Amino acid sequence: MAALGSPLRTLRGLLRELRYAGGRAGRPYRDTPAYQHVVAAFRAHRVTSEKLCRAQQELHFQAATYLCLLRSVREHEALHQEYHGKGERSPEEVAGLVGFRLPQQPGGKG
């Protein structure tokens, strides 16, 4: 069986990720179907530290996998925005990098 750690920790992490992901225009993240499903599923299965119930382990694995998905997507997007999100520089910016300015050509390029 996979080393999953504490179900409570997984649940907290999952709810945190849903908080980061959700909350559109006045609708609180607690109202979303995902949040309500997660809370209901954990409550129904009473996921505890007992290693006995197979259904509990399956639910915990699923929750941990979903947590990994949400967290990785968020982290990936943050890295993307930081390093790859800015696009190309304009010609003016490129000239400015080495201290030049593009010439003014009122009649357009020759």
Partner 1 sequence: ERKRFYQNVSISQGEGGFEINLDHRKLKTPQGKLFIVPSEVLAIAVATEWDSQKDTIKFYTMHLTTLCNTALDNPTQRNKMQLIRAAVKFLETDTVCYRVEEPAALAELQRDEWDPVVAWAEKRYNVAIGSSTSILGPNIPASTKETFVSHLASYNVWALQGIEYVITQLKSLILSMGLIDRHITVEKAVLLSRLEEEYQIQRWGSVEWAHDYDLCELRARTAAGTLFVHLCSESSTVKHKLLQD
Helical (H) or strand (E) element with 101: none
Which residue, among 55, 29, 33, 52, has the nearest Cα to 44 in the 3D structure? Answer: 55
Tell me the β-bridge partners of 27: 24
* 109 contacts partner 1 (rule: CB under 8 A): no
Task: Give residues 41-70 in contact with partner 1 (rule: CB under 8 A).
Answer: 57-58, 61-62, 64-66, 68-69
Binding site for partner 1 (CB under 8 A): 1-4, 18, 21-22, 24-25, 27, 32-34, 37, 57-58, 61-62, 64-66, 68-69, 72-73, 75-77, 79-80, 82-84
